[in-house]
Amino acid sequence: MTSRITGTGSALPEKRVTNIDLQELVETSDEWIRERTGIVERRISTGDTVADLSAKACERALQAAGKTAQEVELILVATCSPEMLLPCCACQVQDQIGAVNAVAFDLNAACSGFLFALNTAHAYIQAGLYNNALVVGGEVLSKLVDWKDRSTCILFGDGAGAAYVEASTQDIWCPNGRRVGMESMVQGSDGTRANVLSCVQRTVHNAFLEQSNKEEFQYIQMDGQEVYKFAIKQVPTCILEALDKAGLTTEDVDLFILHQANERIIESVARRLKTALSKFPMNIDKVGNMSSATIPVLLDELNRSGAIKQGDRIVLSGFGAGLTYGADVFVWG
Ligand code: COA
């Protein structure tokens, strides 16, 4: 028994914010942002919540899979930027799409969130607890970003992506001899590196403290160079580990769909894996870094454009705050 993705969907806010627009807010330039990150523009919410965008992405994924909301058994929303602590975003999505029979909860592993949620859904399905799941990565990071901090505000964008994942009870063999479904996964966390990328929400604050600890709202804090160094080392390492677990090499892979944090990180990973950059599709120029939404939005874009074919072997890999990282290997179909 394995699991397979049978439908994808995504949703982006309408408002485009270009690098030129950002020149009005902070001391930066279109040239600097393009050269250092590959980003040209990003989408920014003018009111859409994480739940709104995630629900739209889910509806599109269901439509693509030919399923109804009533059939959904599990909804997992990966997010680090929900508008509400209670209820969880997944329950709001359940309500918006009318998935009355689903169990729904959130999961936060920052930019690795979609990958970790996909793995969680796979594990549930493999254990026989559920037959299907809507796996979502949704973020409205624009509210966590300090729009006066040029080292972070240029990087992030808002959006959501979803995948409908189903149990594959009988083996499906592709003409190229590959079996459809998940082949291997690797995930990891290094909690000692929490200060490299963080966003404090509420510190301890209650009626029994002698001194009130109530703090002002805080924005994303990041040591960009440390994240960069972590990513270019950890991403190729965990991809190779995941391939090795499946008895495969980089040559067996058709597409590497990586977390879109920085074009230079992706180029470096491709070099370290000694693999042509053409196997690493990118959309960072149009959407920036949408944290957990990045991988499923790109997956949906590629799926809808016909860039992914049945039998293609795909590697998904992400990294983010935590620090967290992971890689999955699967055959599409
Ligand atoms: N516009 C213009 N100049 C900027 C700038 C901006 N938006 N942001 C920083 N600078 C300046 C710095 O102040 C510094 O100036 P100085 O040399 O006078 O001190 C100079 O540019 C170089 O800064 P540095 O931080 O060394 O740049 P960098 O090449 O490391 O690029 C990042 C910065 C953030 C783009 C890069 O480190 C990165 O992408 N890191 C990974 C971040 C990430 O992926 N985070 C999310 C993880 S999920």
C-alpha of 38 from chain center: 18
Q: What is the mean pLDDT of residues 103-111?
A: 98
Question: Is the distance from the beta carbon of residue 111 to the nearest atom of ligand 1 less than 6 Å?
Answer: yes
Question: Is the distance from the beta carbon of residue 320 to the nearest atom of ligand 1 less than 6 Å?
Answer: yes
221: three-class secondary structure by DSSP: strand
Q: Judge whether 89 counts as a catalytic residue.
A: no
CA of 218 to the centre of ligand 1 (A): 20
Question: Is the distance from the beta carbon of residue 23 to the nearest atom of ligand 1 less than 6 Å?
Answer: no
Q: Which of 89, 259, 262, 303 is catalytic?
A: 259
181: three-class secondary structure by DSSP: strand
Can you tell me which atom of ligand 1 is nearest the CA of 259? Answer: 48
Question: From atom 30 of ligand 1, which residue's Cα is the shortest distance away?
Answer: 225
CA of 264 to the centre of ligand 1 (A): 12
Q: Which of 111, 153, 199, 238 is catalytic?
A: 111
Check: CB of residue 152 under 8 Å from CB of residue 28. Answer: no
Question: Is the distance from the beta carbon of residue 289 to the nearest atom of ligand 1 less than 6 Å?
Answer: yes
Question: Is the distance from the beta carbon of residue 225 to the nearest atom of ligand 1 less than 6 Å?
Answer: yes
Instruction: State the Cα–Cα distance between residues 75 and 103, nearest whole angstrom.
Output: 6
In the block, which residue shows the tokens 């254990």?
127
Question: Is the distance from the beta carbon of residue 37 to the nearest atom of ligand 1 less than 6 Å?
Answer: yes
CA of 224 to the centre of ligand 1 (A): 6
Instruction: State the Cα–Cα distance between residues 250 and 304, nearest whole angstrom.
Output: 25
Residue 216, pLDDT above cutoff 80: no
CA of 280 to the centre of ligand 1 (A): 23
Give 212's pLDDT tier (boundaries 50, 70, 90).
Answer: low
Q: Judge whether 111 counts as a catalytic residue.
A: yes
Check: CB of residue 165 under 8 Å from CB of residue 122. Answer: yes
Instruction: State the Cα–Cα distance between residues 115 and 113, nearest whole angstrom.
Output: 5
Q: Judge whether 108 counts as a catalytic residue.
A: no
Instruction: State the Cα–Cα distance between residues 56 and 58, nearest whole angstrom.
Output: 5
CA of 166 to the centre of ligand 1 (A): 41
Question: From atom 47 of ligand 1, which residue's Cα is the shortest distance away?
Answer: 320
146: three-class secondary structure by DSSP: coil
Question: Is the distance from the beta carbon of residue 87 to the nearest atom of ligand 1 less than 6 Å?
Answer: no
305 vs 171, 205, 285, CA distance in Å? 26, 50, 17
Model confidence pLDDT, tens digit, residues 45-58: 999 999 999 999 99
* Three-point CA angle 197, 49, 287, nearest 5°: 60
Lateral strand order in the sheet of 255-258: 181-189, 324-331, 313-320, 255-258
Residue 4, pLDDT score: 96
Instruction: State the Cα–Cα distance between residues 225 and 256, nearest whole angstrom.
Output: 23
Model confidence pLDDT, tens digit, residues 159-197: 999 999 999 989 999 999 999 999 999 999 999 999 999
Model confidence pLDDT, tens digit, residues 253-293: 999 999 999 999 999 999 999 999 999 999 999 999 999 99
Instruction: State the Cα–Cα distance between residues 281 and 267, nearest whole angstrom.
Output: 11
Q: What is the mean pLDDT of residues 113-118?
A: 98
pTM of this structure: 0.96
- Counting Cα atoms < 13 Å in the Cβ hemisphere of 219 gives 14
Phi/psi class of residue 90: alpha, beta or left (left: φ > 0; alpha: ψ in -120 to 50)?
alpha
Q: H-type helices in 87-188, by residue range?
A: 89-97, 113-126, 150-153
Give 217's pLDDT tier (boundaries 50, 70, 90).
Answer: confident
Question: From atom 15 of ligand 1, which residue's Cα is the shortest distance away?
Answer: 151
Question: Is the distance from the beta carbon of residue 150 to the nearest atom of ligand 1 less than 6 Å?
Answer: yes
Percentage of the chain exceeding pLDDT 90:
94
